[in-house]
Each structure stands twice: as structure tokens, then as C-alpha cells.
Amino acid sequence: MSSLHYWNYPTEIFCGPGALGVVAERCKLLGMRKPLLVTDPGMKALEPLAMLKAHLSQADIPFAVFSEITSNPTLDDVARGVATFQAGGHDSLIALGGGSAMDAAKGISLAAVDRHGLTRFEWSQVITRYPSLADFPRLGLPRLIALPTTAGTGSELGREAVLTLSEQNIKQVISHPELLPATVILDPVLTRGLPPALTAATGMDALTHHIEAFCSPLYHPMSSGVAVEGVRLIQQHLVNAHADGQDMVAREGMLVASAMAAVAFQKGLGGVHALAHPLGARYHKHHGLLNAILLPYVLVANREVISQDIARLARYLELPQADFNGFLEWVLALRQRLGIPHTLADIGLDADAAPWVGEQAVAEISSSDTNARPLNANDYSQIFRNAVHGELDLVLRP
């Protein structure tokens, strides 16, 4: 039996060690004659890019590499990518890397066709003007193949891109159905060089996506089901992937869990992301690390309305204490085992910006609107302070 799996959910997915081998064939079938490879600067000297370039060269597919992007890609990064795309006569894109490469490639795809697209399809515009996917105008965006090298963002299966507005120190979510990649390649070989700290942060990012989607008040039972199984896969594989980067079973399991999260969070995200987006834009901290630190504090803030759901999730995970406290203790123990800091102070943040953080979190409607319960700016400010100071004691009371 082949170890290569093929799924279509919601786009075509090739999964398994060696899945990279289908990339040239997919390019040809999709009519991608001259793709632009979008990646981050750190990938330029690493094995995954060398492997991808070798496959394309052997198939006589001309390409160029664009890597002038930051860890939280900005509109300026996208503008440079569009200039490269157009000057090189490219007709398609291949994104290789983590969420930054995926988001940048999607931004380039949209802005190369519609120079106002990053404004027209910003989240606040989308939710008022395009109530369903059929309502979006057809743009004919360039085809995109996504090859994640981290297991965290799930952006490869999403129709959104998160881009930073540098001057305002905020992030904005862009959405259009044609941003969904045409093909996704989940090859655990591409992730085997990911350092333990990044494996931990990106894995906790995926876990946060599933938990927040599961706790969202929106009714979407299909996404809820995906979220539950996604959490179980992370429970099964994250520690092993962190301990042994060459464990292909664990690496593949985490890639699958990460991709599933983008399907799950069609149901929405929540307060962790509402806080992490402005913090990432202002302080330039890794998104997954911020999510990992913030997660317990937001769980606590939502406890009143999520306890029953979290207890069901805890039973599915077969935790020794199958209730909210048992689940919280599992999250805290997992973070500790992975070397995730307990507080935002541990990564250099202080509470001085709490009022600004609260205002920005409420304004982050792509996440705050689907938090498990409504929170105002003061609520978010207090959660931020709690995360800076590590105040979780009251939660652990029976």
C-alpha cells in the first residue's frame, strides 16, 4: 500500500513522505508554466528549497525565488513580491515555508491581479459585502501550490492571508475564495529540519486553532468534529515531533493536524488570536509562541461558557481528570514539556500597553467576534495583564 495519501478537503491534498515528488506534475496539469517560488530568507540555504528547486529543474519548469519577506509579512513585502512577479513574467506561485510564506504568496497573488484587492477584501469589507463564497467577484488569480515546512498555521488550506500594516502596528485579514491553493503538498520530509523550539511554537499554534474553533459559539458541526480530532492528533504527535525531528510519523501527524485546523476554524477563532495579532504586529514576536503563551489565560476568561464543551473534549482525549481543570492542566503540562514560557514577561513584554492591547483586540473582529463569549476592551486588557504576570491561580480551584 502506498504511503502517499490523496484527499480533497476542501482542495486537493497529497500527504506522506515523498509527496514533494508530485509537484512538477501538478504544475503542468495546472498550467503553471513559470511559477514564482515564495519563501522566507531563512529557507534559502535549507534542504526543502533545494529539494523543490531540483524537482522543478529536472522537469524543465522555469522559476525564480522571492524571499524578501519578514516573519510577519507586510504590505511592503507584498508590493515587492508583485513587482518581482510581474517583472519576471510569472503566471503562478509556489509557497514554501510557514505561515509567512503562505500569507505573502496569497497577498502577491491577489495584488498582482487587483491593485486594490488588499483593501477590497479586508475582513471588515468581506463580512458586509460577501455573505457567501458565491458572492465574491471572480478575479482569475494565479494558481498557487502550497508546501508547508512547519505544522502550525494551516494557511495552506485557508482562503485568508494575514498581513501587517507596518505604520499602524496592526494586522489585517484578507479573504477571497481564490486564495485557496489549488494543490497542497504535506510532505513530512520538508519539516524534519525544523528546530525543537519552532516545532513547539507552531504545534501549539495548531492546537490553539482547534481549541478556539471548537469553542466558537457559531454553529458548524462539521468544523467542530474536525477540531476534536485535530486536538487528539496533536496530543498524540506533538511531543514526539519535538523530541525527534526525524520521526516521520509524528511529523506527518502534525502536518495533518495543522492543515485540519484551517478547516476547523471556518467556525471562527477567538480571544487568543484577537490578542496575538496586534501583539505580533507591535512587538514582532512569533505568532505561534504568542498563541501558546496566551491560550490558558483566554481559556480561563471563557471558562463560564466553555466548561461543558471542554469537558467533552477532555473525555475524548481520555484525560485522567475529564473536566475543565483537567484540560487546563494538560495544556499547562504540555507547554512546560515543550519549553514554552508561562508568561508574556518571559519574552520581554510588560503590562504598560494594556489599554492599547485591549482596544486592538476588540478591533480584531475576524477573531474577537467569534470568541466563546463577548469580551470588551477592558476584559482583553486584563487578560493581557494576567498573561504578563502569570495570574492563573484562581482557575485551578475546584
What's the topology of domain 12-191? Rossmann fold (3.40.50)
Which residue intervals of the chain bear CATH 1.20.1090.10?
196-389
pTM attached to this predicted model: 0.92
Q: pLDDT by residue (tens digit) across 185-216?
A: 999 999 999 999 999 999 999 999 999 999 99
CA distances (Å), 6 to each of 3, 18, 186, 248, in order? Answer: 10, 13, 10, 18
Measured N-to-C along each axis, helices 221-243 and 324-338 cross at an angle, to the nearest 10 degrees, of: 40
Give the list of residues 6+ apart from residue 128 with CB closer than 8 angstroms, or none.
none
- CA–CA separation, 70 and 68 (whole Å): 7
Altogether, the residues listed in the chain come to a count of 398
pLDDT the model gives residue 25: 96
State yes or no: cis peptide before 10, omega within 30 of 0: yes
pLDDT the model gives residue 140: 96
What's the topology of domain 196-389? Dehydroquinate synthase-like, alpha domain (1.20.1090)
Whether 118 and 163 have beta carbons less than 8 Å apart is answered as: yes
pLDDT the model gives residue 1: 38
Backbone angles phi, psi at 198, to 5 degrees: -75, -35
Containing 173, the helix (H) or strand (E) segment is strand 170-175
Amino acid making up residue 332: L
Which residue intervals of the chain bear CATH 3.40.50.1970?
12-191
In three-state secondary structure terms, 347 is helix
Helix, strand, coil percentages, rounded to 5, for the chain: 60, 10, 30
In three-state secondary structure terms, 376 is coil
Q: Using the structure block, give the residue that is written with the C-alpha cell 508530485.
A: 22
Q: Strand order in 12-15's β-sheet?
A: 5-8, 12-15, 183-186, 143-148, 92-97, 35-38, 64-66
Closest by alpha carbon to 295, among 231, 383, 369, 217?
383
pLDDT the model gives residue 393: 64
The gap from C-alpha 363 to its chain's centroid, in whole angstroms, comes to 20
Containing 184, the helix (H) or strand (E) segment is strand 183-186
Q: With a cut of 50, list the residues of the chain below it in pLDDT.
A: 1, 394-398
Give the list of residues 6+ apart from residue 184 with CB closer than 8 angstroms, or none.
11, 12, 13, 14, 145, 146, 147, 148, 156, 157, 259
Backbone angles phi, psi at 191, to 5 degrees: -105, 0
Give the CA angle between residues 373, 262, 316 to the nearest 5°: 65
Q: Which is it for strands 143-148 and 183-186: parallel, antiparallel or unpaired?
A: parallel
Give the list of residues 6+ apart from residue 292 with CB closer than 8 angstroms, or none.
200, 201, 204, 205, 208, 335, 338, 340
Backbone angles phi, psi at 6, to 5 degrees: -125, 125
Three-class HEC string of 259-273: HHHHHHHHHCCCHHH
Strand partners, 161: 174
Q: Which is it for strands 170-175 and 160-165: parallel, antiparallel or unpaired?
A: antiparallel
Backbone angles phi, psi at 236, to 5 degrees: -75, -35
Q: pLDDT by residue (tens digit) across 67-79?
A: 999 888 999 999 9
pLDDT the model gives residue 91: 97
